[in-house]
Every structure is written in structure tokens, then in C-alpha cells.
Structure 1
Amino acid sequence: MRKAAIALTVLAVSACGQTVAGSPGAGEIDVRKLEAGKYPTQPMDSYYSYTHSVRSGTSLAITRLADHVVLGSDIDPKLRYGTGIHAVDQPDDVASSMADQSKDVAKRNKMQFGFVSGSSDTEPVPLNKVPATSTLVTVTVLQFPSADAASTASREFEESDFNVNPVENRAVPISKFPTAYAHWRPGTPTIGSTIAHGNYTVSVFVSTASADLSMLTSMVEKTYTVQLPMLDELRPLSPEEVLRAEHDPEDMKRRVLDPSKTAVPGVGDMATNRPHGFLHFETDRESSKKLYSDGNVEYVTMGQAYSSQTYSYSKGIAQSFGTGSSKLLDGAILFRSRDEDSAKTLWSSLVAKPDAAMTPVGVPEAKCAEELMPWSSAKHFTCVVRYRNYVGTVWSTQPQDAQQRAAAQYAVLANSQ
């Protein structure tokens, strides 16, 4: 929350030379002297006023849902790697992880929104197909206007997928969840299942190395066992509530660097998640989970960080069995830890081998380094800054640009109190 008791606000000078009057708070640097280049140094709410819309509200609703979608490692510890995500903001998007015929089912039953997350026991390699020996699980959670609509959609999802190959497909009971639908084609190492749970449907697609039906059904049961209770904690949203969703209730978006000053919410871009929801975007989710746990991270805000879609190199299995979430060429991620000591722990763990020559001039607790990014052939330079219990990460394909972004992120944090 903003601290109204702080009377003095540190303000900045833009690259164009425009000066805003102000003075630094006691014990802190004068951020007006930092080299922030063309980037904003004031919090987002100083230049942007949020306007409610269906599109923005839907993005906020999907981000909220992601915090309650199961991770593969919660199903089985070996499923530690993320194969990608997909934001479902219109009925046609369900084809990202379900049969094409599912689009009509989603439309007919007035699906509102959804979120897809894929997991694997094999670390994905960019531009390569997922090995056939991998165990893969894709979970699709969709919200509908009512429990009746979700129940009807679940049955119709099963019917439409089953009828793609009605001669060879066989229905499969999921003993622990008798209301779930499932089917497989004997001799193939995959199974598809769907279940209605309140206003939600949960669809699970599993692929394993061998056509072992007991293993496939066990993985489906494990998924439902973890996923369904998570949805019990998430009250469904009416269309009106989606439209009127609050833009920044965590008071985080205003503090993250927004290079383009667009500020419009999107999944993976100007979005705030709890650590669980943010882990969907990570590749090695278990390593990241420990990192954020050690740093007592409460919230994570992404600014121009990730694409809301993952493109697959395994089409025909499931679209979201791709090669991890698509990180954008430059962006920002802001973490809020429980306290300053926790933030220091997190800051120390990020960019483990900093290049002293790249340290941004005058920026306290800042470090930078060139890092290899497996998803890109371009050079990438990452910088990390800490301000009180906030830790910001920025990156760019140019070292000076990354340093300027780091300075700007620090200034935004200092000016956001």
C-alpha cells in the first residue's frame, strides 16, 4: 500500500530533459540523476488511467484463474518442467489444447474464459519436438456462466472428441471420479478426460512413453485430486464482475517498469500473480519454486514479459506440449517479498554471476550480466535491482539499454512510495 505518511516524493528527469519539481527523501539517492534513457521513471498511475473493458477484464480474470490451476509438479514431482501456457479468452482458443470440434461446444455453452498449462518430466528444448519417451500432462480449466452450462459442456466436449474416431476410441471409467468422462484408443499412450466442477470444466490430456491404461488413468485421477479443491477456493465471476474487475488491487502494476507506457493488462504482460500462478510461465518450475519460497515472494508482476500463447512443436499431441512459455525480447518482472531481508535473499539469487563492468552507474543494489537464453539467438543482458522489499528484473538485447531500464525500474520504485 502507498505510504501516505511520506511527504517527500523523489521525482525524475525524462530523457527529453523535462524536469518535475521534487526532492529526494532522507537517506535515499536522488533518482533524478540516474541515467534512465527514454524510460518512464514515475509510477504507472502518473500517466495512465485504467478504463474498464471486456477485453481487459477478461485478461484480469484469466490471470486470477492461473493462480488456481494445478502445476505438473503438484500432480507428480517428476513433472517439474513447464511446456507452455495458453490464455483462453474466446471459444476458438480451446482448440489450443482440445479437439477442434470443442470450439462449437464452448460457443454453444457460452464459455467465459480459461487457462491452459502443460507440464513434462523432460526439460523442453526450443525448436525441438518433445521426446516420445516423455510423460506429458496438459490441463485446461474453463469457466462457464453456470454449473448446468459447465455440466453440459463437459459431456459435449467428451462426445465431440470421442467422435473424431468413434470406431477405435473406447470409453474409460475414472473410478475415483465417477462423473468424469474419459476415453483412449487402445494401443496408444494417450488419454483424454473432462469433468465438470461447479461452473468450471477441467480437461486433462496425458501422454506417456507406453500404452499403459492404468498409468494413464492414474495420472488423470492425480490431476483431479489436486485441481478440483483448488477451484473450490475460486469463486466464479459473473460477466459483470469480469467487466468491473479491479486493475491493480495488489498495488503492484503501478510499480513495474512499463517501457511502452501501454499499461493495458494482459496474460503475461502487465499481469500480477501469486508465485503459484507465475510458475506456469517458468520452464524449470521446481527450481523457481524454491527460489521464490526462499525469498518469501508474495506477488509477481510481469511487464511485457511473456506471450499469452505457446506454440507447439508437437502438433497432434496437444498444442500446449510446446517448448516452454514464449519470453519476449525485452521486458520487466517485479517481485514483492514479505520483508527486506527476504528481498535481499531473492536479489542475491538472481543473476548469480554478475559482470561488475556492467553495473548501472549510481543505482544501489543493482547488478547485470549477459545471459544465455535458449529461446533466442540474440544476445541478452539482464539486470536486477532491489528497493526495500521489491526486486525488479529487466532485460534487453543491448547492455546500455538494460542498464537504463534498471535505473528506470529503481526510480519507479523509489517514486512509488
Structure 2
Amino acid sequence: MRHGFGRLRSARIGVRAAAAAALVISVLAVAGCGSEPHAAGQQTGDLNKLDTGGYSTKPQDPTTSDPAKRGRILEGLRLGNILPLGFEIDPMLAHNGSGAHVFTEPNSFGGYINIDHFADDARGFVTGFATSAHPSEDASVGYTLTNAVLIFDSESSATSAAAALARSGFSLAGKRPETLPVQSSQHPAAQIIWAPVEQKLAAWDPVGKLVIFTMIDQVENYEVERAFGISPEPAPLTLADKAIDVTADRLNGFQPTPSDKLAALPLDPDGMLRLTLPRPAGDQTSEAFPGTLNQHGMLHIVANPADYRALFDRTGVDSVSDGAGFLVRTRDASSAEAFLDTASASRFQQRIEPPAGLPTARCSKYYGPDDHAAPFHCYVAYGRYAATVWSQQQQDVYQRISAQYAILANNN
């Protein structure tokens, strides 16, 4: 089993397999790697001996300087908590291709979708959430399904945007490939385009104020056709129809927040962010979600969601927040320790000494094939919480995990 409890993978819609592989960040293989179980309550940290550097050591109520934008991000996270995982659309899609990805700006919706005229094409756009998956750990095998939902300020805006975005089409290496329109009998309102040479299909289906976006990138077919001159496969319309159906079913009952109410969305409804080590200003160590996700939403982040669903169920994970690391809330203290027994184990990580004053921390240095992986990771449990931090520097990762532990210990 692999997981993404380190630096999040960059999430660009529709990135070709070779590029996507280069963007994978800190994806760790953890199944059957000889984890070392820790009994809950054996030892505790000594707050007087912790080196926390300049990091906060007390819980802090989160604030924002831009409530309107933060509201759009929180609305996007609401989508992430309900949208289907790849393997729920097609059981073959066992491996996530990107992390949780809220997007409020067109450049975040880029990749191979033409966004040159996004501001005009998508008038009334509020926010969105995207996820992707593929059948193999090797993203060059099979195909990649990208699934997203965009929220608009009105039904008319959504309908207009679906048509306009389809007209703008794809943009590959500065050129626009030839595309053909495709009609779905199951979704007659959907705007669908097919690029046969590139083996890419994209669909925009307006549903009320929402647009369901589905893109299928048949990476392996494209490479075979390019290498051997084999005729391109037909458009994968059946899979697109299924993705739209499953997504639309999940959206039943979802009510977009009125635009004038977005700024009032609660920033920290579960009290998780106040317990999470804040990311320092200018920190570029992750492209993470700025908020909290529930158990289902977090499964968009991890590499192998089916495996992690079992772990989350077993340990009662119900909320995950992000700051200078991840904070996971489990059922109880023993569940937090059990969670870390799996999350901290990796055949690519070599255990190193914990920081002074924190003997319960599990720290390691990464020795593996991913050049983008953060070299240092530390994990610790406190009560029902399990924390993960990472850094380029050993001293910094020690200070981060020490500060995160202190925040939890100082929560009165």
C-alpha cells in the first residue's frame, strides 16, 4: 500500500503520463514493510526539552485576510467530501493520480484543457474540485480518468460555460489538436469533444448550477499508435457516461452555497485547524488543501484509496487537516497509534533518532526512487490525533513535529 502523507502531489488536470510521473511527490510504499507497533501510553514527550524553533506551540484559532476567497476554497472542499473516487467509477482505477485539488483560478484548471479564454468562457465560475485516477502505479499504463465539478453562480452560467469550454477544447504543446464533437444518448445536454490522434476525450455536462467535467486520457493507446502506427481506438464514451452518472448521483442533495454566503462558511467547524501546526509564510513544501476534509475527501489524496479506506475504517478516521503537515483525527488513542503503525512504515524510509524530548516520535529519512520526495518525515500520536510532518532539513522536521506535539499537549 502506498500513501501520500507527506508532501502532496501536484494536481494538474489531464497531465500526460510522463509529466504526471514527474509531478508525484512523496508517495511512499508502506504495505508489508516491517512496521514497528507502538503501545499507546508507553511514553510521553517532555515539553521542557522540545526544540520547536520559531514554530507555534499553542492552539490558535485560524483567521483569513480574504474571507471571500477562503469561502470559495471551503466550498470546493465540500465537493471533495462527496465526489466519487476513481475506483467507484471503474474498479480498474485503483491508483489516484493527484491529490485533493480545489481550484478557484483558471490556471489551476489547466493541464491540457485550453484556458486562454477561461474568464470569458466560464463567466460566473465560483469554485471546483478535481481528482484523477489510473489503473496502475505506472501512469503510462492504461488510461487516466480526471473527474471534476465546477460550481457557477446560476444555471444559465453553467450551461453557457459547458458549451464555451468545449469549443475552446484542448491545448497541447501550444497547438490545438483536431477534435470531433461526440453526442451521448444518455446525457444529451453534455458537451463532448474527442481528439482521436491524441486519444483524449472531454465532456462538460451542466446539471443545475454545476458542471460535471470528465476527461479520459488513453495514454497507452496514444503511445502504441504513435510508436507502431496502429489506428486510434474509438472514443471511450461508455466510460465517460458512467463517470457522469456516478458523479451526478453523488451530487444528489448537494446545495451550492449562495455566493453572498460563501464568506460566512465556518473556517474550522471541527476544531481541527486550531490544533494543526500552521504552515509558515512562504513555505513551498506542498501544494496542499488549505482546510479540512472528511474521511472520504481524504481518500482523494492517498495513492491507493481502497487500502486507505480500510485503514481509515479500522482506526475511525473522521477528519484530516493540513498546515505544516497533516493532522488526522482517529477514534481513540489506541487507534491513533495503530494508524501511525501503517502510515509511518515504508521500505523506502530508514528510521532515524527522534528529536530530543519526544521519544514517541517516529522519524525517518527517505531513500527511494522518487526524486521529488521530501527526505525527512516525522510522525507522532497524541490522544486520538496522529500527526505527520516532512521537510528538506532534519532539524526543521524535528522542530515541526515537536511544535505539533506541543500544540496538542497544550490543548486545554
Normalization by structure 1: what TM-score? 0.74
Moved over 4 A (4+): 27-30, 48-52, 162-168, 185-188, 353-357
Q: Decide whether aligned partners of structure 1 residues 374 and 271 sit closer, same or farther in structure 2, where only a CA change above 3 A counts.
A: farther
Residue identity matched to 1:61: E
Residue 274 of structure 1 and its aligned partner are, at CA, apart by 1.3
* Equivalence for 2:56: 40
Q: Decide whether aligned partners of structure 1 residues 381 and 159 sit closer, same or farther in structure 2, where only a CA change above 3 A counts.
A: closer
Residue 351 of structure 1 and its aligned partner are, at CA, apart by 1.6
Q: Decide whether aligned partners of structure 1 residues 33 and 259 sit closer, same or farther in structure 2, where only a CA change above 3 A counts.
A: farther
* Equivalence for 1:393: 388
* Equivalence for 2:152: 144
Point out the structure with max Rg over C-alpha: 1
* Equivalence for 1:217: 237
Among the aligned pairs, what percent are the same residue? 26
Match of 2:105 among 85, 90, 104: 90
Q: How far apart, in 1, do the equivalents of 2:272 and 2:359 lie?
A: 21
Residue identity matched to 1:44: Q
* Equivalence for 1:256: 276
Residue 166 of structure 1 and its aligned partner are, at CA, apart by 11
Matched residue of 1:368: which SS? Answer: strand
Q: Work out whether 1:111 is the aligned partner of 2:125.
A: yes
* Equivalence for 1:314: none
Residue 186 of structure 1 and its aligned partner are, at CA, apart by 4.7
Matched residue of 2:51: which SS? Answer: coil
Q: How far apart, in 2, do the equivalents of 1:173 and 1:383 lie?
A: 51
Residue 408 of structure 1 and its aligned partner are, at CA, apart by 1.4
Residue identity matched to 2:105: Q
* Equivalence for 1:384: 379
Q: How far apart, in 1, do the equivalents of 2:176 and 2:47 lie?
A: 67
Matched residue of 1:407: which SS? Answer: helix
Match of 2:298 among 278, 300, 311: 278
Q: How far apart, in 1, do the equivalents of 2:268 and 2:364 lie?
A: 31
* Equivalence for 2:191: 181
Q: Decide whether aligned partners of structure 1 residues 144 and 249 sit closer, same or farther in structure 2, where only a CA change above 3 A counts.
A: same
* Equivalence for 1:358: 353
Structure 2: segments with no counterpart, 5+ residues? 1-42, 222-231
Structure 1: segments with no counterpart, 5+ residues? 1-26, 125-129, 304-330
Deviations 1:276-302 (A, max 9, x none): 222333333333333333322101111
Task: State whether residues 336 and 390 of structure 1, in contact with CA within 8 Å, keep that contact through their aligned partners in structure 2.
Answer: yes
Q: How far apart, in 1, do the equivalents of 2:199 and 2:177 lie?
A: 18
Q: How far apart, in 1, do the equivalents of 2:394 and 2:171 lie?
A: 54
Q: How far apart, in 2, do the equivalents of 1:167 and 1:414 lie?
A: 57
Task: State whether residues 114 and 170 of structure 2, in contact with CA within 8 Å, keep that contact through their aligned partners in structure 1.
Answer: no
* Equivalence for 1:80: 94
Q: Work out whether 1:161 is the aligned partner of 2:169.
A: yes
Q: How far apart, in 2, do the equivalents of 1:192 and 1:377 lie?
A: 30
* Equivalence for 1:63: 77
Residue 236 of structure 1 and its aligned partner are, at CA, apart by 0.4
Taking the TM superposition and a 5 Å limit, the aligned residue runs for 1:317-356 are 331-352=324-345
Q: Decide whether aligned partners of structure 1 residues 374 and 117 sit closer, same or farther in structure 2, where only a CA change above 3 A counts.
A: farther
Residue identity matched to 1:334: L
Matched residue of 2:399: which SS? Answer: helix
Task: State whether residues 123 and 284 of structure 1, in contact with CA within 8 Å, keep that contact through their aligned partners in structure 2.
Answer: no
Matched residue of 1:84: which SS? Answer: coil
Q: How far apart, in 2, do the equivalents of 1:173 and 1:139 lie?
A: 19
Task: State whether residues 42 and 411 of structure 1, in contact with CA within 8 Å, keep that contact through their aligned partners in structure 2.
Answer: yes
Q: Decide whether aligned partners of structure 1 residues 114 and 381 sit closer, same or farther in structure 2, where only a CA change above 3 A counts.
A: same
Residue 52 of structure 1 and its aligned partner are, at CA, apart by 5.0
Matched residue of 1:360: which SS? Answer: coil
* Equivalence for 1:291: 311
Residue identity matched to 1:38: G
Root-mean-square deviation (CA, aligned residues, Å) is 3.3
Q: How far apart, in 2, do the equivalents of 1:342 and 1:378 lie?
A: 27
Q: Decide whether aligned partners of structure 1 residues 32 and 60 sit closer, same or farther in structure 2, where only a CA change above 3 A counts.
A: farther
Residue 255 of structure 1 and its aligned partner are, at CA, apart by 0.6
Residue identity matched to 1:254: R
* Equivalence for 1:232: 252
Q: Decide whether aligned partners of structure 1 residues 245 and 372 sit closer, same or farther in structure 2, where only a CA change above 3 A counts.
A: farther
Q: Decide whether aligned partners of structure 1 residues 362 and 168 sit closer, same or farther in structure 2, where only a CA change above 3 A counts.
A: closer
Residue 376 of structure 1 and its aligned partner are, at CA, apart by 3.4
Matched residue of 1:213: which SS? Answer: coil
Residue identity matched to 2:342: S
Normalization by structure 2: what TM-score? 0.75
Match of 1:246 among 266, 287, 291: 266
Q: How far apart, in 2, do the equivalents of 1:351 and 1:381 lie?
A: 12
**Equivalent residues, number:** 352
Q: How far apart, in 1, do the equivalents of 2:279 and 2:199 lie?
A: 46
Residue range with higher mean Cα deviation, 229-238 or 142-151: 229-238
Matched residue of 1:334: which SS? Answer: strand
* Equivalence for 2:68: 54
Residue range with higher mean Cα deviation, 244-253 or 178-187: 178-187
Q: Work out whether 1:99 is the aligned partner of 2:114.
A: yes
Match of 1:412 among 404, 407, 410: 407
Residue 147 of structure 1 and its aligned partner are, at CA, apart by 1.8
Q: Decide whether aligned partners of structure 1 residues 340 and 166 sit closer, same or farther in structure 2, where only a CA change above 3 A counts.
A: closer
Q: How far apart, in 2, do the equivalents of 1:332 and 1:339 lie?
A: 20
Residue identity matched to 1:213: P
Residue identity matched to 2:314: D
Q: How far apart, in 2, do the equivalents of 1:297 and 1:377 lie?
A: 28
